[in-house]
């Protein structure tokens, strides 16, 4: 009698089980908090740039520029699933 060992192959956010089925782990981009924070920061920047009379002061923009990288780092630390 011959023994066959089956192993589960994991690659990035996909897993191929012994039946050959592919299982994907992760979340959609639209459910990512990091995505929404960055999109909001981008929209504020673009709207300020397009505005003839800035609605956001330079001081507030400098605070946003300081806080955004820290917020991104924190959100990356609590991320449990990759984007698929």
32-68 residue pLDDT tens: 888 998 898 888 878 877 877 767 777 887 888 889 8
Q: How far apart (Å, rounded) are the C-alpha atoms in residues 78 and 8?
A: 27
pLDDT score at 3: 56
**pLDDT at residue 1 greater than cutoff 70:** no
| Contact status, residue 44 vs residue 64, Cβ threshold 8 Å | yes
Q: How far apart (Å, rounded) are the C-alpha atoms in residues 75 and 63?
A: 18
């Amino acid at each position: 009698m011959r023994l066959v060992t089956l192993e589960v192959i994991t690659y990035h956010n996909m897993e191929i089980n012994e039946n050959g089925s592919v299982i994907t782990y992760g979340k959609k981009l639209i459910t990512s908090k990091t995505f929404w924070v960055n999109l909001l920061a981008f929209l504020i920047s673009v709207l300020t740039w397009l505005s003839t009379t800035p609605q956001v002061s330079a001081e507030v923009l400098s605070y946003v520029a300081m806080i955004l990288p820290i917020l991104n780092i924190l959100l990356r630390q609590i991320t449990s699933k990759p984007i698929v």
